[in-house]
């Protein structure tokens, strides 16, 4: 059973979530700062860290970066949110919290990091859609599209095992009828209409997408879970509910 440390032990939402996690993970509750908690993960006393209900994103990221460091070979750290919709659908969203306006190089690394996390979290094969205002060239020329195309070319050369396609609008990514119609002129797509991983071009779109699913569709949001560090960590939204925290811990345990 994975051990997860919660340094915000005095928070009532954390306490309630920990009570619900019995038998799923082994929680370690303590009142400390992020650096001290991260050091326990680094030393092997815990497998992962969850904070952010009281601590700021800056506190969490700077603390874990100081102790964990970032993955070799990557120039970016990023995040995912896992959206659990009331009808049972589940989507992984990125980046909703950390990388504000990724370059093409960073976007390719985000695809790789997110896909590899999705393999562990999802019950199905990840199908990654690169979201945009345009679907397979339907939009006018735009730097955001150039960035997506460059990232796709790079990641397909490096990781041909990743099922990724784009650019595409949200409806084309998740609606089978619309996805088939809009991808027909493109020669079809292994992702359109059946995506379960949604990657946005910048943090504005990602944050709005996650909050919209939560506020308008009644989704529970696990995360943000930070990727690109040498140990698993989540920087919770300060608006996280008890259920969000429970789902975050369950997802993080699969990555740890």
* pLDDT tens-digit map of 57-95: 999 999 999 999 989 888 888 999 999 999 999 999 999
Report the alpha-carbon distance of residue 181 to residue 32 in Å, rounded: 54
Report the alpha-carbon distance of residue 220 to residue 90 in Å, rounded: 10
Q: How many domains does the chain have?
A: 2
* pLDDT tens-digit map of 220-233: 999 899 999 999 99
Q: Same domain, yes or no, for 189 and 237?
A: no
- 23-27, 154-158, 218-222: least confidently modelled range: 23-27
Specify the length of the chain in residues: 256
96 with 206: CB under 8 angstroms? Answer: yes
The backbone torsions φ and ψ at residue 212, rounded to the nearest 5 degrees and listed phi first, read -65, -45
pLDDT band at 137 (very low <50, low <70, confident <90, very high): confident
Which 3 state secondary structure label does DSSP give 54? coil
What's the pLDDT score for residue 104? 95
What's the pLDDT score for residue 141? 80
CATH number at residue 31: 3.40.50.10950
224 upstream amide cis, omega within 30 of 0: yes
Whether 22 shows a pLDDT value over 90: the answer reads no
Q: Same domain, yes or no, for 107 and 193?
A: yes
Q: Same domain, yes or no, for 89 and 211?
A: yes
Whether 138 shows a pLDDT value over 90: the answer reads no
Q: What is the mean pLDDT of the chain?
A: 93
Proportion of the chain above pLDDT 70, given as a percent: 100
What's the pLDDT score for residue 82? 96
Q: Same domain, yes or no, for 37 and 150?
A: no
What's the pLDDT score for residue 246? 95
* pLDDT tens-digit map of 35-49: 999 999 999 999 999
Whether 140 shows a pLDDT value over 80: the answer reads no
To the question of pTM greater than 0.95 for the whole model, the response is: no
* Residue 235: partners with Cβ closer than 8 Å, 6 or more residues away: 51, 52, 57, 60, 61, 79, 97, 223, 224, 226
- Which of residues 211 and 186 earns the better pLDDT score? 211
Q: Same domain, yes or no, for 123 and 213?
A: yes
Tokens of 98: 């950390």
Q: Same domain, yes or no, for 37 and 153?
A: no
* Enclosing domain of residue 104: 75-220
Question: Which pairing describes strands 220-227 and 233-235: parallel, antiparallel, or unpaired?
Answer: antiparallel
Q: Same domain, yes or no, for 104 and 188?
A: yes
Task: Let me know if 159 is exposed, middle or buried by CB neighbors in 10 A (0-12, 13-18, 19+).
Answer: middle
Q: Same domain, yes or no, for 151 and 27?
A: no
Whether 237 shows a pLDDT value over 90: the answer reads no
CATH number at residue 172: 3.40.50.10750
Report the alpha-carbon distance of residue 97 to residue 55 in Å, rounded: 15
The backbone torsions φ and ψ at residue 56, rounded to the nearest 5 degrees and listed phi first, read -75, 160
What's the pLDDT score for residue 123? 86
| 96-121: burial string, b at 16+ Cβ within 10 Å, e else | bbbbeebebebbbbbbbbbbebbeeb
């Amino acid at each position: 059973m994975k051990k997860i440390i919660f340094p915000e032990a005095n928070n009532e939402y954390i306490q309630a979530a920990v009570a619900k996690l019995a038998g799923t993970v082994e929680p370690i509750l303590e009142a400390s700062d992020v650096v001290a908690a991260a050091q326990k993960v680094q030393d092997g006393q815990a497998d992962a860290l969850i904070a952010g209900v009281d601590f700021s994103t800056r506190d969490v990221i700077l603390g874990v970066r100081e102790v964990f460091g970032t993955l070799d070979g990557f120039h970016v750290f990023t995040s995912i949110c896992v959206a659990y919709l009331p009808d049972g659908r589940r989507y992984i969203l990125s980046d909703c919290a950390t990388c504000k306006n990724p370059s093409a190089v960073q976007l390719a690394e985000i695809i790789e990091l997110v896909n590899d996390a999705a393999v562990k979290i999802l019950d199905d094969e990840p199908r990654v859609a690169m979201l945009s205002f345009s679907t397979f060239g339907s939009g006018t020329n735009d730097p955001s599209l150039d960035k997506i195309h460059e990232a796709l070319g790079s990641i397909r050369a490096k990781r041909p095992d990743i099922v990724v396609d784009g650019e595409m609008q949200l409806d084309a990514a998740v609606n089978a009828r619309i996805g088939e119609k809009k991808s027909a002129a493109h020669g079809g797509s292994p992702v359109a209409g059946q995506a379960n991983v949604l990657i946005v071009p910048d943090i504005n779109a990602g944050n709005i997408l996650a909050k919209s699913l939560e506020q308008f569709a009644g989704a529970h949001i696990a995360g943000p879970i930070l990727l690109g560090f040498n140990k698993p960590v989540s920087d919770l939204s300060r608006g996280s509910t008890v259920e969000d925290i429970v789902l975050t811990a369950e997802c993080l345990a699969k990555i740890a």
